[in-house]
Structure 1
Amino acid sequence: MERKHFLRNILLVSVAPAVLLAACKETGKPAAQAGPQPTFTCPMHPQIVQNKPGTCPICGMDLVPFDKSNKDHSLTLDNSQIALANITTVTIGAGNLAGFKQLNGRLAVDPEKTNVISSRVPGRVEALYVRETGVKVTKGQPLYRIYSEQLAALQQEYLLAAAQARQFPEDARFAQIEKGARQKLALYDQSDAAIQQLLQSQKVNPYVTYPATQSGIVSELSVTEGQYVAEGGPVMRLEGYQQLWVEADLYPAEAEAVKPGQTVKVMVAGWEQEPQQMTVQFINPALQSGSQLMQLRGTIPNPDNRWQPGQQASILLPVKSKNDVLALPVDAVIRDGKGTHVWIEKSKGKFEPRMVTTGMENYDAVEIADGLAAGDKVVVTGAYLLYSEYILKKGADPLAAAAGHQH
């Protein structure tokens, strides 16, 4: 009996570890499967999904974790997140939408603001106070100094006539001669103060300093120091940029859509957010040389000289309009290769993507032909941030959710 008890104890001791190990393995299986496996995706490329950290093979960004078991297709943000993302909404309703025909144009110098500075007397340019183009000058600023022998001769002639008039005050003929000599000096831009100083000093001064007759930018220099210029010869050109021409090319068939006196919108390249109103002043009835294009022209103000001649501009001609349509700002609509969607605020702080079909569009608004109804509360700013946040949190394209909720 003792031998049997001994063998049974030996068998129990040898089998117990195996039984305990198997039990541990069995109980360990549920523990390993207790929680969901983490999943990682790229914020910029949601098609990249894997079950471990790493980097995106497309853009190299670090993958971020997301809960793939979350089937909620909406995003919920608190008030601080909404303010930080600058998310604003509007209740969509029916209204009018105007279409536009876009013409390519450019800015040009307004000839009415251009002035050619020419020499009033023949002579030699002794000093040129502005020696390069692009310099801004103000009205009354000295531009150049000229030496003129002819002016010296006229001054001497006036001194003699004035002396004769003083010596024979009763002789009207000498008074007329003095008056004629004074008028000659005035024609050479000699001011009354300069003529009076000439009388007091009794010395001729062949040097004349000419000031700017208007403010502007020096666009062209025609002389250099020491150069002789004839009477009326050009010295420099001043251009004023406070008002610019807008020139646009259009085909003869397009000319029927616009008339002189009509108001159109102008968008300067780089300043599309600040469209300008322009009145069409002129449409050239003849085609441009070597082309089948006509030319439209108007003027726009140029505050602070922010724009320069030669810049590209677009002219928007109204060509058609629709009434009783649903329209949203262009930035509210998100487009990619899979479709078009907007974001709807279903309740306070809760946003959902909605697939839509667009129709007519202009530079700042787009028609929503299908997918929305009057009264829907649509996100108009911050839509792209919601798009990125959805990918970051859900690891999927919002269009997949929008397609499932389309109505």
Structure 2
Amino acid sequence: MNWIKKISILFILFTVFIACNTKNKEDHSVHKAKKSLYYTCSMDPQVKEDKPGKCPICHMELTPMKNDDSAVNEIALSAQQIKLGNITTQTIEETQSSIEQSYTGVLTINQEKIKTISARAMGRIEKLYFKTIGDYINKNEPVYQLYSEDIAIAKQDYFTAYKQLSMPGDFGKNALSMLNAAKQKLLFFGLTNKQIESIKTTNQVSPYTIFYSTYSGTISEIIATEGSYIMEGSGIIKLADLNSLWLETQVNVSYSKSISIGQNAKVTFVDFPEKTINARISFINPEINPDTRLLLIRMEVPNQNLFLKPGMQTIAKVTQPNKKGLFIPTDAVIREEKASYIWVEKSQGLFESLMVETGMETNGMVEIKSEIESTKKVVITGAYSINSEYKFRKGADPMEGMDM
């Protein structure tokens, strides 16, 4: 009887041991299953929790997700996800073709064609003959009248010397020297030969002098005002030659590498789309604008018959013949603040992000200046779908932690 009891006790103990061991295994498998899941928010994918609940940021219900064991910059997608995301790949190779780039800009006055009419002596502006910006001044037209004591003294010296020419002896000889010296001074002050000759026949020397334009142009700025006193050399009016204008535009630094001084461009105008003019790149600013991070490009545009006006909006098309390079659709490139990258198919259903340097853009294509293996299949559609899925699963940017 005791023997039977012992056997029964051993059997019960064995059964309990087996049951406990099985429970531990089940608990362990459940723990492993739990670890294979995490909970995240569709609006804030950086949130990761090990149990269901609400997002601490937007308070939406967290979504269960399977842990992705792929590398940091990789993501595995199912065939259904690839189809729904319209993800297609293609091997790319260098192509050679003419690339046309378009730049928008504005016509401005050619600063190299601006002339300033300045005062040749100190005095007071008695009269301005032109008072409106945009007026056209012809060469030899009167511009302003100046009251100047310095010029009046020089006129008097010339008049006196002329009257003394008829005197005998040394008086006449000295008068000729004084006359020539006074004439040179009046010429220095800007008087014409005709104005100087008229002094000989005047009854009284006038302190007022009219000054004439020495060139033609359109008034771009009026500096002086009637009644104001000016110093010798002070500007009075600025004249612009509008037969040549500047077209100024700003381009991305990476695009400017393909542009050179002297390169030709075809310019069209928003106001006159049917009109096309050939222009030439004359200046590339060596300094980048610190605010826009863009580079100023300037072109010279001929303006026959003054048909074009400063302020007109333009489109300049610059063509590069026989440009060789790798080009992919612009939507295939993910542009972040510090880097640009593409997605390539590493193996069936496994995609890897690859940082690249981009170049010029044209006709919906962007140049890839980084070297890419010819065997790589580049994602040309659906790149943003892969990117969104990556951020949703891993809660981070594909380039996070990479050297830029």
Relative to the length of structure 2, the TM-score reads: 0.52
> Residue 123 of structure 1 contacts residue 146 of structure 1 at CA under 8 Å; is this kept in 2?
yes
The whole-number CA distance in structure 2 between the counterparts of 1:293 and 1:361 is 21
1:72-106 Cα shifts (integer Å, max 9, x gaps): xxxxxxxxxxxxxxxxxxxxxxxx98441111221
Is residue 295 of structure 1 aligned with residue 301 of structure 2? Answer: no
Partner of 1:138: 138
Q: What amino acid maps onto 1:295 in structure 2?
A: L
CA separation in 1, counterparts of 2:198 and 2:153? 16
Could you tell me how far 1:246 is from its partner in structure 2? 1.2
1:209-235 per-position Cα deviation (integer Å, ceiling 9, x unaligned): 122222222222222222222222221
Counterpart contact for 1:159–1:202, Cα < 8 Å: no
Q: Distance in 2 between matches of 1:210 and 1:268?
A: 40
Q: Which residue of 1 aligns with 2:199?
A: 198
8 Å contact kept, 2:191–2:211: no
Distance in 1 (CA, whole Å) between partners of 2:133 and 2:270 is: 25
| Offset, 1:204 | 0.8
Q: Alpha-carbon deviations, 1:43-72, whole Å to 9, x = none? A: xxxxxxxxxxxxxxxxxxxxxxxxxxxxxx
Question: Which residue of structure 2 lines up, in the alignment, with residue 385 of structure 1?
Answer: none
Partner of 1:274: 275
Give the counterpart letter for 1:226 in structure 2: G
Structure 2 partner of 1:108: 108
Aligned position for 1:223: 224
CA distance, structure 2, for counterparts of residue 252 and residue 299 of structure 1: 21
Aligned to 1:149: 149
* d(CA) in 1 for partners of 2:221, 2:190: 23
193 and 213 in structure 1: CA distance in 2 versus 1, 3 angstrom threshold: closer
CA distance in 1, matches of 2:290, 2:138: 38
Q: Offset at 1:109?
A: 0.6
**Counterpart of 1:256?**
257
* Contact kept? 1:244, 1:301, Cα under 8 Å: yes
Sort the Cα spacing of 1:181 and 1:100 in 2 relative to 1 into closer, same or farther, 3 A.
Answer: same
Tell me, yes or no, if the aligned pair for 1:140 and 1:212 is still in contact at 8 Å: yes
Distance of aligned partners of 1:168 and 1:189 in 2 relative to their CA distance in 1, 3 Å threshold: farther
Query: 2-side partners of 1:290 and 1:245: how far apart?
Result: 23
Q: How far, CA to CA, are the matches of 1:153 and 1:123 in structure 2?
A: 13
Say yes or no: does 1:177 pair with 2:178. yes
**3-state SS, counterpart of residue 288 of structure 1:** coil
Q: Does 1:233 align with 2:253?
A: no
Aligned length: 231
**Pair 1:150–1:289, CA change in 2 (3 A):** farther
Separation in 2, partners of 1:195, 1:120: 15
Matched, 1:167 2:150: no
Counterparts in 2 of 1:284-323, with a 5 A limit?
A: 284-319=285-320
C-alpha deviation, 1:244, in angstroms: 0.3
**Distance in structure 2 (CA, Å) of the matches to 1:103 and 1:284:** 16
Look up the match of 1:128. 128
**Does structure 2 retain, via aligned residues, the 8 Å contact 1:257–1:317?**
no
**Do the aligned partners of residues 168 and 287 (structure 1) sit closer, same or farther apart at CA in structure 2, a change above 3 Å counting?**
farther
Note the residue ranges of structure 2 that are not aligned, 5 or more in a row.
1-95, 324-361, 365-404
Shift of 1:277: 1.1
Whether contact under 8 Å (1:113, 1:240) holds in the other structure is yes
Corresponding residue for residue 32 of structure 2: none
User: Match of 2:109, as an amino acid?
Assistant: V
Using the size of structure 1 for normalisation, the TM-score is 0.52
Q: d(CA) in 2 for partners of 1:289 and 1:207?
A: 51
Structure 1 gaps of 5+ residues are: 1-95, 323-359, 363-407
